[in-house]
Structure 1
Amino acid sequence: MIGSGDNQPRISQNLTARLVDNVILPGLAALPTHQGLVLSGAASQEEFLDRAAKHFDNVTAAEARRGFALVLAATFERHLRRWLFLAGTPSAGSMKFADLLEAGLARLTDARRTPEMKATLDELVLVGNVLRHGNGRSVTALRAAAPDLWHDIPEEDHHWLERTYTYAELMRVEMGHIRRYSNAILLFWGLADRLPGAALDERY
């Protein structure tokens, strides 16, 4: 769905909200997860298989959260490029994301609400880069900006893990991240919306 530059923010906000409400949150809620799972020391083959099944439940849910974070990142970037192009920025299609986001922020109606939102959107795009490409500059930047994404790795292990592909694989996207990323995207489009009745409240 493509609108004019004026109504594109509202279209993008509503499309994102529908994606989160109808696909992402129900999809994640339908996946079973298990807390305090112990993988070793099973007393029987039946207990081992039960633990293994629960472990794969957790891994499946973790992959889904990572996948949906990537969907949010890619969708936001694509909508942002389209909006800026329609609003009179011909180079939007070729701009790096950092420049693209700065150009978008400059057009918002209330700059007081942008610093935390910008930090969250920067984080989301780095998460998307890590999920697509693995270790590299985005991992280094993300480790500094959002260390909670590696909350279950002992501090002494970070140094050597950063030199391996495994480090990117150990990034943990949790439900709290999905909700925070979604809220930041919706707020961005709400602040970009110049039509009456713009939605600015946190939804998730």
Structure 2
Amino acid sequence: MMVLSEQLPRIFQANLARLYERIIEPAMDGLVVHPILEDGEARSMDEFLDRAGAQVDNYTSNEAAKSFVLTLAAVFERQLSSWARAMGLVDLAKLRGFQEHLLACANLASIDLAIGDLGTELTEIFTVANVVRHGEGASCERLRAMAPALWSDTASDYVDLMPGPRLPSENLRIRRNDLVRYIRATTRFWGRADPLPMAVTDPPYWLS
């Protein structure tokens, strides 16, 4: 007899994997990214336009990466809610926000979120998503404290194209390895929650 709550973790893991492998990864691979952006005075109009185009390329790639984190976070949060309902979690309506849903679901599956920094990375994903969605605010301040590596004042491959004062939320950098960390964390969670035989507890997503 198939039990819905036992099937869902594997289904959720597969859905996230397909989203990453069929949409996110090919889309990011298709974007042009320049390892270094040239600065200084251009020697010709063509050189000036080439440099401006390179800045736009890298800026667009970063915006795409941020939007994909938002998508991953939204899908994962919806999955947590669906699984909690399927598991018959008592007082589900009293749970407020991502963190409470995450902790409740981890407890249901006896997942230790401290192992491999799983809880830290899942919290980071959702906090990044909040910054992408809302910009400046408490989430941005919290993210800068928990993941300062997502910002760099000396990067040679990024120029903020937004006019006006420099805003931390606009200078948030999401690189390819960050996306890999995030898909690995979300699929690892469901692998650990999967009670069925041959569960994939360590999905094959590796940092480059």
TM-score by length of 2: 0.86
- Poorly superposed stretches of 4+, deviation over 6 Å: none
Q: Is the 8 A contact 1:105 1:114 kept in 2?
A: no
1:61 is aligned to 61
CA RMSD in angstroms, aligned pairs only: 2.0
5 Å matches for 1:1-204? Answer: 4-89=4-89, 91-92=91-92, 95-111=96-112, 114=115, 116-152=117-153, 166-204=167-205
Q: Is the 8 A contact 2:33 2:57 kept in 1?
A: yes
Task: Give the 3 Å change call, closer, same or farther, for CA 91–39 of structure 1 in structure 2.
Answer: farther
Q: Is the 8 A contact 2:114 2:120 kept in 1?
A: no
List alignment gaps of at least 5 residues for structure 2.
156-164
Q: Is the 8 A contact 1:134 1:165 kept in 2?
A: no
- Distance in structure 1 (CA, Å) of the matches to 2:203 and 2:59: 29
Task: Give the 3 Å change call, closer, same or farther, for CA 147–64 of structure 1 in structure 2.
Answer: same
- Distance in structure 2 (CA, Å) of the matches to 1:194 and 1:152: 45
2:161 is aligned to none
- Distance in structure 2 (CA, Å) of the matches to 1:80 and 1:115: 20
List alignment gaps of at least 5 residues for structure 1.
155-163
1:35 CA drift (Å): 1.5
- Distance in structure 2 (CA, Å) of the matches to 1:26 and 1:201: 22
- Distance in structure 2 (CA, Å) of the matches to 1:147 and 1:192: 30
- Comparing 108-117 with 3-12, greater Cα deviation is found at 108-117
TM-score by length of 1: 0.87
Identity %: 37
**1:58 maps to amino acid:** N
1:157 is aligned to none
**1:149 maps to amino acid:** L
Q: Encode CA deviations 1:96-126: one digit per residue, 9 max, x unaligned.
A: 2111111011122453764600000000000
Q: Is the 8 A contact 2:151 2:172 kept in 1?
A: yes
